[in-house]
Structure 1
């Protein structure tokens, strides 16, 4: 499954923090954040993806996160 989310992550340091935190908390096969995109798209690939859990986790780190329409 692939989850695609809109975030407010804007710096390389924030990107690395969030990607490493997600990789350590969830069983993912890939996790990327596109800082060039206007929506700062977070893409998470996982066998057992719970989108609401990803959103809650990213928000707990202090960032905005929502499903991308």
Structure 2
């Protein structure tokens, strides 16, 4: 499953922090945050957990996270 989320991750440092946290906590094949996009889209490929678990995890890291359709 691929997850696509709107976030408020704004810097390279925040992006690296979030990607490391997701990659070390969940089984995913890739994780990316598009800092150029207005929604700062977080895309996670091959998620093995439900979207709501990722959303809560990102929020606990201090960032906004909402599912994008």
Please indicate the TM-score interval, normalised by the length of the shorter structure: over 0.9
1:47 Cα deviation from its structure 2 partner: 4.8
1:49 Cα deviation from its structure 2 partner: 3.1
1:25 Cα deviation from its structure 2 partner: 0.3
In the superposition, relative to structure 1, how do residues 47 and 64 fare at CA in structure 2: closer, same or farther (>3 Å)? closer
- State TM-score, norm by structure 1: 0.95
Q: As a proportion of its length, which structure holds more strand?
A: 1
Paired residues, number: 69
Within a 5 Å distance, the mapping from 1:1-69 to structure 2 comes to 1-69=1-69
Flag structure 2 segments of 5+ consecutive residues without an equivalent: none
Moved >3 Å (runs of 4+): none
Flag structure 1 segments of 5+ consecutive residues without an equivalent: none
- State TM-score, norm by structure 2: 0.95
* Contact preservation (8 Å) 1:3, 1:49: no
